[in-house]
Amino acid sequence: MKLSFGWPRTLASRLSLIFLISLVLAHGLSFGLQFYERYESAMTTMLGNMERDLSTTVAILERLPPDERQAWLPRFEHPTYVYILGAGQTGTPVDMDKAPMSVHSMQESLGHDYALTFNNITDSRPHYQAHLTLKDGNPLTIDVRPQITPLSPWLPLLLIGQLVLLFVCTWLAVRTAIRPLTRLSHAVDNLDPNGEGIRLDESGPTEVAFAAVAFNTMQQRISTYVKERMQLLAAISHDLQTPITRMKLRAEFMDDGIEKDKLWSDLSEMQHLVQEGVAYARSMDTSTETARRVDMDSFLDSLVFDYQDVGRDVQLNGKTGAIIDTRPHALRRVLVNLTDNALKFGGAAEIEVIAHADQSLSLHVLDRGPGIAEGELSEVIKPFYRVESSRNRDTGGTGLGLAIAQQLTIALGGTLTLTNREGGGLSAQLKLPARIATGAVKVTDR
């Protein structure tokens, strides 16, 4: 199996990885050079001490009587080498080209006055002996067991502490650098075309402040642009109602006939389209309605009873006991649009309410109509988009009902999702944010 390592997806991960790798490499190189310099310094000091010790010890042994030398040998012992009176052990000659540095140090300190020979001794660790003959003819062996210069016990702890400090500093640096970008992305996700979105703090470093000012300005321009277009749409739609009404009055005075009926039908369709245009323009601005606490069970019962009173097949399933802060008129308009759509295409509607563990609330408007093609589920919530391609209002509608529901849902801070049901039909899920309150006064909107 072939393993592949991809580049991290988030900017914070990429910056952290780059900083950590570069800092760890730089720190490792610095630590390695420092350790090497420390090793060289310790080795030089040790070899210098060894040369002085060898010269001093051999000089003392030369001046001691042969029968007293053995008693003095324990005083000259060293952790890496000891002195033996005698010929020592036999072994293989040391290759001087590959000899340890201590061999060359012995040559420097004793080689001028004595003939030295070196033999490797078979052992589980490096081991050799140096042989020489004192001035009185007695042999002397220096038994050497080289050791690696021990690492100070605090060095690994220091390295770990420095690496931890690097991780913490890198995390703080990346977090400080990414935080403004995170705020910007969050503000973009919550961008409100009505100008009620989050305004970024314009303080901080120059680049951050400039980006915040640019975003706030852009949000304000979008709000102004949308309001102007919606006001234009509302004004045109409102002004068209007067001439349409006059035309319908004039049509009343026409003689009965096919042409009168066609004209009346066209005028009624125009009036309905104008009314929907006004409703859509108003749905873009819900700031005039203040939020209130609403008992969802009573609210939904009221909505369903209104439909049942006029003989429509609408059923409610589920009770939550939830009391939420919302805009009741906007919420009612959303549910009415979705329910009317279900009744129009399915003949019956079912409203199902579900409370989630995170205190959010889902309202499902279900029908058993023909449903919508998967490729068009995201398109039908756009203004003037109709699944049925004809211009017949009774079958295709104006294409604004779901668009109005979508705009009002956004204003409520919720989400509207359309899915096809198993066995046929459509499910319109309205998910409201987690703003459920308890112990509030019940308010219904009937």
Strand partners, 35: none
Supply the pTM of this predicted model.
0.47
Q: Residue 276: inside a domain, yes or no?
A: no
The half-sphere exposure of 310 on its side-chain side, counting CA atoms within 13 A, is 6
Q: How far is CA 7 from CA 4, 167, 291, in A?
A: 10, 19, 46
The answer for residues whose C-beta is within 8 angstroms of residue 186's C-beta and 6 or more apart is: 198
The answer for residues whose C-beta is within 8 angstroms of residue 202's C-beta and 6 or more apart is: 209, 212, 213, 216
Q: Residue 391: inside a domain, yes or no?
A: yes
pLDDT values of the chain reduced to their tens digit, one per residue, 446 residues: 455 556 667 777 777 788 888 888 887 888 788 777 877 787 788 888 888 888 888 889 888 888 888 888 888 888 888 888 888 888 888 888 888 888 888 888 888 888 888 888 888 788 888 888 888 888 988 888 887 666 667 777 877 888 888 888 888 888 877 777 777 777 777 776 665 667 777 777 777 788 888 888 888 888 777 777 767 767 777 777 778 788 878 887 787 878 878 888 877 777 777 776 666 666 655 556 677 888 888 999 999 999 998 889 999 988 888 888 888 888 888 898 899 888 988 889 999 988 887 778 889 999 988 888 887 887 787 776 666 543 344 544 556 778 778 878 887 888 888 889 888 889 999 888 765 544 433 333 43
Q: Are 312 and 429 in contact (CB under 8 A)?
A: no
Strand partners, 420: 426
The answer for residues whose C-beta is within 8 angstroms of residue 217's C-beta and 6 or more apart is: none
The one-letter amino acid at 424: G
Q: Are 320 and 355 in contact (CB under 8 A)?
A: yes
Count CB neighbours of 4 within 10 A.
Answer: 4
Kind and range of the H or E run holding 274: helix 258-283
275/74 Cα distance (integer angstroms): 113
Q: What is the CATH number of the domain that holds 302?
A: 3.30.565.10
**Which domain-ending residue is among 125, 144, 163?**
144
**Which domain-ending residue is among 96, 115, 144?**
144
Q: Residue 79: inside a domain, yes or no?
A: yes
Domain that holds residue 92: 11-144
347/359 Cα distance (integer angstroms): 32
Q: Are 344 and 350 in contact (CB under 8 A)?
A: no
Q: Residue 213: inside a domain, yes or no?
A: no
**Which domain-ending residue is among 144, 167, 199?**
144
Q: Residue 320: inside a domain, yes or no?
A: yes
Six-digit token string for 356: 């989630």
Q: How far is CA 5 from CA 8, 9, 23, in A?
A: 9, 12, 21
pLDDT at residue 4, as a whole number = 53
Q: Residue 221: inside a domain, yes or no?
A: no
Six-digit token string for 132: 């020489």
**β-sheet with 314-317: strand ranges across:** 314-317, 349-355, 361-366, 426-432, 415-420
Q: How far is CA 359 from CA 21, 38, 179, 244, 431, in A?
A: 43, 63, 28, 48, 11
Q: How many domains would you assign to the chain?
A: 2
Q: Residue 234: inside a domain, yes or no?
A: no
Q: What is the CATH number of the domain that holds 29?
A: 3.30.450
Six-digit token string for 174: 């990346």
Instruction: Tell how strand 323-326 and strand 436-437 pair up.
Output: antiparallel
List, in sequence order, every beta strand (DSSP E) within 121-213: 128-133, 139-144
Angle (nearest 5°) at CA 215 between 13 and 180: 30
Q: How far is CA 28 from the centre of its chain?
A: 29
Q: Residue 107: inside a domain, yes or no?
A: yes
